[in-house]
Amino acid sequence: MKQLYIKQKVFSLGGKFTVKDQQENDRYYVEGSFMQIPKTFSILNTTRDEVGLITKKIFSLLPKFFVEVNGREILTIQKELSFFKARYTIDAVGIEINGNWWDMNFEVLQHGNVIGKVSKEWFTWGDSYKVDILNDEMETIIIAIVVAIDCVKADQAASSSAAST
């Protein structure tokens, strides 16, 4: 089992994350687009090659996010029509999320087998997540899922604060 840590930079305009291993070595860099349509987050490996991409669909009645890994679309996250509380669905072939993904405490399963576990780290400056990778081949996909869900949450928070002003 491998443990990775995602740390969001609090005062980053475009949304930046660094994914580190247990020895504090950089494993991935995540860079969000700033003032760009559509909004995207690129996941880069240590040689700065793009290995994942999260894109927010711009012409959609309800927010929808596409997640690609190595050029292949692996899942979508879409807001459902709901009157009381924001609800989202995750659609992926063979991949499912069990647990409270809105609070970032969940397991990632592939065909019923746990391949990763995600938990939010409390008492940190900015959002931090611990990610346990149980299947090394799925590492990039699991990182992309965590970043995509965080992106959805940030988008929801931004629209909620804009609506209240």
The segments of the chain whose pLDDT lies below 70 read: 8-14, 34-35, 60, 82-87, 123-127, 157-165
pTM: 0.81
User: Tokens for 21?
Assistant: 């291993």
Q: What is the pLDDT of residue 11?
A: 44
* Residue 113: domain span: 2-164
Q: What is the pLDDT of residue 115?
A: 95
Q: What is the pLDDT of residue 48?
A: 95
User: Tokens for 71?
Assistant: 């050029």
CATH at 98: 3.20.90.10
User: Tokens for 56?
Assistant: 């927010």
Q: What is the pLDDT of residue 50?
A: 94
Q: What's the number of domains the chain is made of?
A: 1
Angle at 66 between CA 31 and CA 104, to 5 degrees: 70
* Distance from C-alpha of 68 to C-alpha of 36, rounded to nearest angstrom: 18
* Radius of gyration of the chain, Cα coordinates, nearest whole angstrom: 15
Q: What is the pLDDT of residue 14?
A: 57
Q: What is the pLDDT of residue 86?
A: 62
Please say whether the beta carbons of 64 and 54 come within 8 A.
no
